[in-house]
Amino acid sequence: MKVQHAQARSLLKEQQDREIDQTKEQRALKMKRRKIERSVKSLCLKEECDREKEYRRRLKHDAKENKSPTEPIIVASALV
């Protein structure tokens, strides 16, 4: 009788350990996915910021040469 109880407890413990391990793995995957999503979002924001800086730089440069500020937009839209 005691042996059966001990076996049942060990089986229950093993099952609980497996469930805990699965939960940890799932949590780790979620955290990794979130980290990647944050990195991608950060990279996109940085690229957008760089594009805005470049556009402002071109506007300033074009203003010095008295060009129309829409010329870069027309050229860019023609390329797309």
pLDDT at position 38 is: 95
The encoded tokens of residue 44 equal 């996109």
List, for residues 12-46, the tens digit of each pLDDT value. Answer: 999 999 999 999 999 999 999 999 999 999 999 99
Is 46 in contact with 32 (CB distance < 8 Å)?
A: no
For the whole prediction, is pTM greater than 0.85?
Answer: no
